[in-house]
Structure 1
Amino acid sequence: MSEPRYVKDSANAYSALYRCIDFLIIQTSLFLILSLREEAYIHTYLVVGLIASIGFLFAAESYQLYRCWRLGEFSRIASYTFLCWVAGVFCVVIFLFFSKTSLDISRLIVGLWIVFNSIALAGWRFLLYLFLYKRRQAGFYTRKVAIFGLTQSGVLLAEQFINKPETGYILTGFYDDRADTRSPTKYKEHLLGGINQGIELAKAGGIEVIYIALPLAAQKRIEGVLRSLGDTTIDVFIVPDFFTFNLLNARLSHLGAIQTISVYESPMTGPSRLLKRLEDILGSLVILTIIALPMLLIALLIKIDSRGPVLFKQLRYGLDGRAIQVWKFRSMHSMENGKVVNQAVRNDVRITKLGAILRQTSLDELPQFINVLFGSMSLVGPRPHAVAHNEEYRKLVDYYMLRHKVKPGITGWAQINGWRGETDTLVKMQKRVEFDLEYIRNWSISFDLKIICLTIVRGFRDKNAY
């Protein structure tokens, strides 16, 4: 029996060269700034430059910055580059703090160097991206691609090729023996024949790359296709049809000699988890400093407006479905926190006069910044629901509980897109979950900042909140 072979990550053929370019930019920029400022290149600067380079390159490996980005968007490349540089700068700060050498170097020079590299490291990638974009649009560096299998995953792949000509992939068409029995009807005009016809065309040199998008149930057929294509020099890729499901943070991993693919996994692991927590701590501290006095005023008004406690602590599901206490300013006369919780509706008699204003402006949520600081919530994430609602909807909405693979947030992608407030129909909850899962799949620090900015710009008032 042959030994299992690992599937290698998608590495760029020029990744070694790219690493050298990044290293040279970080080192050379520091030397040039020192020369322009007429400062001596002392030993501390040399150490700082090397630490920043090593920190950047280690973070780049973690984020797979040097993988093949042929189908990637530049905004994503730039955000990953910036995060890696932040990691490098963080290593420098730690070194300067513990070595007590920060007074030996110019803070102005280090500041200029940090800003310059933030631009330079992303800048040269943008120039390369622009060059390849123009060349591929002009017909250079292009490759003829065929897809075996007119399936849903095959259609999704075809849309990438058609909508992004800058990738250089030119779709010649689909080949499928059972196209009439498969569900997707889109792109059937691109169906050029059966799979055997596609194989013959590949052997004749009419195709350069083949993507096999047949269902996993057709294992024997896939094996036969691979054997036939083994007689060619064609590049062949397999597109598993389970990638059309709600995968979260899908990636390869190893368990001994066995390779696995994660299906449901949180993106908040390793450095990402640390960055997310750092974002929450800094953000909540800044916001709590700003809103401390308004919160005291609201607390006083609540005591004047109606009898009862200032804060309402409701049990909700947090990370991994564990129960947490979410803090809110009390906005109702009653405080339901049991197995049955009735959602607020328009003109709800339980809501106090002040509570109506607090709920419409989302001011009742302000104490949740304390939850964020203590670590049970995040600034951005799926909004937490009452435990009773979780137990109800997990039986009705597919993939509902996957929204708990990350910490719940004060604001979220679903709320920004209008899916907040009462969920009086199943469709409303389905749409909310859909946007929550989209957020988890596409999470990044830049995505969080976008949601925070949109929350501020669009305001806190919402017609669906009452």
Structure 2
Amino acid sequence: MAVTTERPTLRDELPRVQPVRRSALRVMPPIGAAIGRSRPKWERAYQRRLLVTDFLILVTVLLGSQRLWIGLDASQNVASAGRAAAVPYWAATLVLLAVWLLALKLADSRSSRIIGSGFAEYTRIADASFRLFGLVGIVALLCQFLPARGYIVTAFPVGVVLLVASRWAWRQWLRRQRGRGRYLVRVLLVGAAASVDHVYDEFRRRSYLGFEIVGACMPPDASGTGLPLPRLGSFEEVAAIARRERVHAVALAGSAELPPEAVRRIGWQLESTGVDLMVAPAITEVAGTRIHTRPVGGMPLMYVDSPAYEGGKKATKAAIDFGVACVAILLSAPIMIATAIGVRLTSPGPVVFRQQRIGLNGKAFNVFKFRSMRVGADAELATLLKDQGTDDKPLFKVENDPRITRFGAFIRKYSLDELPQFFNVLRGEMSIVGPRPQRAEEVALYDNAAGRRLLVKPGITGLWQVSGRSDLSWEDTVRLDLYYAENWSLLDDFVILLWTVKTVLQSQGAR
């Protein structure tokens, strides 16, 4: 009997796989499914206040311009040429109001990342408004509308000025609240101990930013920071700690212990928490106008422009200095005459005191001041500095200086003694805004870093004037003067002048 054998097929040789029920399938989710931002509770309320303020300002400006140039008569129409349909002015005002508010929204002028500091908030308002101004002009031309010129010319500039002024007022309110420990942003620092120390110092120095540091995450083998910061964990625990501590942002302090792969993984993990990720670069004391970013192959490169010490900006600054000095001398002439009489009547000696200071590129010049000390005060300086133990420090200031006369203390309190320095500005030896001019003996104690203060003209006022004046330490004075020397701009000069008026009137730090 023949036996037949069947040759196994390939299908029979394959292992049998049991069917898997769909409910048993488990797909690992991707790291960091993104959710909405973890906003501070106060953020939305503050933004609503800005929105209401913007709305009220624009309503007032637009209706005021209409009332001034056209009137509030509902029958008044925008003039048109050709066959363009007549548009009532009240309808044009309502449309312009809605579009202006939309432009501010699209410009992100109420973003939490720009409120409270910097010029971005103001520039976005101005940019959105004047872009809208150009758009209105184009639409009016294409549709052959002829709105009253005064209505447009008045509404837009006045609206921009009032919007910026209102944001400034709200910013002052916000900073006062932050000084009381309210309206803060909770931040977790991540990095090596030295990097964490540096970022913490910068945030503490700029308390008006509202950053509340809750703690730090550092490598396991890192030593303590020496700062009042709790060590909450390591890099691998950043997301869990951020969620537990309810922080709003994580600040990565640049360090070798944070390689690119670790930074990217931390970013992935934070996506599922709604926490913002901030990266603090190693470079500091650089103004935003000098920084430009460019993505290259997924890696953001940061360009830092060199400081501008020459060129058109310098010529413009010199021209503005000359003009402002001429106006200031004319306006302050009665005050200078009264001050000169007061100096003459209250103490013997010359009215104007001349002292050699070091200016641009180390060149010496004589600075003019109304005399506020008794005659021969310079000869007493070395002994007074030695007695208080500061004769080896570059900032020559004497605590409770006995050389100052009674009237001299008064004119120093309100900076009246510095009014003759406008003549130094006319002579080209000083600027209106710049680092404080110092004596040759002080400059002799400079290191290379402090010597960079001599790359720009010294000023009658400066960052030191609006940041504490005589209350500042030498280190803080150098830091502020170097920041100004490397980052100065005409807009910053204007802001410093405004702050100088406030500081002098309040006589902050004057001695």
Taking structure 2 as the reference length, the TM-score comes to 0.49
Question: 2:279 matched to 1:239?
Answer: yes
Q: Secondary structure at the match of 2:435?
A: coil
Contact 1:173 1:192 in 2 (8 A): yes
Question: 2:462 matched to 1:409?
Answer: no
Question: 2:339 matched to 1:289?
Answer: no
Offset at residue 241 of structure 1 (A)? 5.6
Provide the rounded CA distance (Å) in 2 between the counterparts of 1:361 and 1:154: 36
Provide the rounded CA distance (Å) in 1 between the counterparts of 2:58 and 2:420: 43
Provide the rounded CA distance (Å) in 1 between the counterparts of 2:207 and 2:397: 46
Structure-1 residue corresponding to 2:422: 369
Question: 2:167 matched to 1:118?
Answer: no
Provide the rounded CA distance (Å) in 1 between the counterparts of 2:171 and 2:415: 45
Structure-2 residue corresponding to 1:252: 291
Provide the rounded CA distance (Å) in 2 between the counterparts of 1:413 and 1:329: 20
Structure-2 residue corresponding to 1:46: none
Structure-2 residue corresponding to 1:3: none
Q: Secondary structure at the match of 2:282?
A: helix
Residue type at the aligned position of 2:437: P
Offset at residue 369 of structure 1 (A)? 0.7
The Cα offsets for residues 348-375 of structure 1, whole Å up to 9 and x where unpaired, read as: 7xx99x9999989866643321333465
* CA spacing shift, 1:227–1:448, aligned 2, 3 Å: same
Provide the rounded CA distance (Å) in 2 between the counterparts of 1:81 and 1:316: 37
Computed over aligned residues only, the root mean square deviation of the Cα atoms, in angstroms, reads: 6.8
* CA spacing shift, 1:163–1:386, aligned 2, 3 Å: closer
* CA spacing shift, 1:355–1:83, aligned 2, 3 Å: farther
The Cα offsets for residues 93-133 of structure 1, whole Å up to 9 and x where unpaired, read as: xxxxxxxxxxxx88798557633442246658999999xxx
Provide the rounded CA distance (Å) in 1 between the counterparts of 2:418 and 2:207: 44
Structure-2 residue corresponding to 1:453: 502
Structure-1 residue corresponding to 2:434: 381
Provide the rounded CA distance (Å) in 1 between the counterparts of 2:60 and 2:149: 17
Question: 2:363 matched to 1:323?
Answer: yes
Q: Secondary structure at the match of 2:368?
A: strand
The Cα offsets for residues 146-184 of structure 1, whole Å up to 9 and x where unpaired, read as: 54336225546887999978x9xx988643223751424
Q: Secondary structure at the match of 2:500?
A: helix
Q: How does 1:86-235 map onto structure 2 within 5 Å?
A: 110=153, 114-120=157-163, 147-149=189-191, 151-153=196-198, 155=200, 174-178=216-220, 180-188=222-230, 191-198=231-238, 211=250, 213-218=252-257, 220=259, 222-226=260-264, 233=271
Identity rate of aligned residues, in percent? 20
Offset at residue 295 of structure 1 (A)? 5.7
Q: How does 1:293-304 map onto structure 2 within 5 Å?
A: 298=340
Structure-1 residue corresponding to 2:450: 400
Aligned length: 377
Residue type at the aligned position of 2:438: H
* CA spacing shift, 1:237–1:179, aligned 2, 3 Å: farther
Larger Rg: 2
Q: Secondary structure at the match of 1:371?
A: helix
Structure-2 residue corresponding to 1:137: none
Offset at residue 384 of structure 1 (A)? 0.7
The Cα offsets for residues 312-352 of structure 1, whole Å up to 9 and x where unpaired, read as: 4745223xx4536454159678999xxxx99798677xx99
Residue type at the aligned position of 2:264: L
Offset at residue 280 of structure 1 (A)? 4.2
Contact 1:82 1:122 in 2 (8 A): no
Structure 2: runs of 5 or more not aligned: 1-49, 72-76, 81-95, 135-147, 174-183, 380-393
Contact 1:79 1:446 in 2 (8 A): no
* CA spacing shift, 1:187–1:306, aligned 2, 3 Å: closer
* CA spacing shift, 1:117–1:196, aligned 2, 3 Å: closer
Structure-2 residue corresponding to 1:429: 474
Taking structure 1 as the reference length, the TM-score comes to 0.52
Residue type at the aligned position of 1:433: V
Q: How does 1:1-80 map onto structure 2 within 5 Å?
A: 33-34=65-66, 37-38=69-70, 69-74=111-116, 80=122
